[in-house]
Amino acid sequence: MEDNLKTLFEGVEQVDIEIEGRGDIRLKMKSEIHQVPSEVKVIVSMPIYEGRRFPIDIGKRITLFCMKKNVGVFSFSGLVVQRDIVDNIPRLHIQRVSPVRKTQRRDYFRLPIVMDAKIKIPDGIVKEKRIFKREN
């Protein structure tokens, strides 16, 4: 997998940030990408949790998730190395500390194909007819 964050975040505006809460609880929050200054650093807005900004301390380890349409979900561990405020928007500077991983979200692959099929039903089995219409 490509570990270059500039390439990874190309065309991506939002990310999910996951941090460990109390006990085994993991909080997942929304954030927006502001800038990708290097191959290993990204600047995002302070995440939102239950309608409020959720401050994350410098030195905190987090996991970032991003979804690229028709490609998949990617994630990596990062370290908050700096916080700042630009144009009244609090931001986090995150340094990537692990390789980028592609996450499989399903146990199967959905292939967008419709095929005609003939089905032979043995005698003695109740036949049920269902018609599925595919909308384009």
Q: Is residue 82 part of a domain?
A: yes
In a domain, 87, yes or no: yes
**What are the residue ranges of helices labelled H in the chain?**
5-8
Gap between the Cα atoms of 94 and 59, Å rounded: 10
Under DSSP, is residue 6 helix (H, G, I), strand (E, B) or coil?
helix
**Residue 110 identity (one-letter amino acid):** R
Residue 98 lies in a domain: yes
- Let me know if residue 132 belongs to a domain: no
Whether residue 20 is contained in a domain is answered as yes
Residue 79 CB burial class (10 angstroms; 0-12, 13-18, ≥19): middle
Number of neighbouring beta carbons within 10 Å of residue 78: 24
CATH code of the domain in which 77 resides: 2.30.110.10
The closest alpha carbon to 74, from 126, 3, 129, 26, belongs to 3
pLDDT of residue 92: 95
Question: Does residue 123 belong to any structural domain of this protein?
Answer: no
Over its length of 136 residues, how does the chain's per-residue pLDDT go in tens digits?
Answer: 567 888 888 878 899 999 987 777 888 999 999 999 998 999 999 998 888 899 999 999 999 998 887 788 889 999 999 999 999 999 999 999 999 998 766 666 666 677 777 777 777 666 565 555 555 5
- Give how many domains the chain has, as a whole number: 1
Whole-angstrom distance, CA of residue 132 vs CA of residue 130: 6
Structural domain for 20, as ranges: 5-103
**Distance between alpha carbon 129 and the CA centroid of its chain, in Å?**
40
In a domain, residue 11? The reply is yes
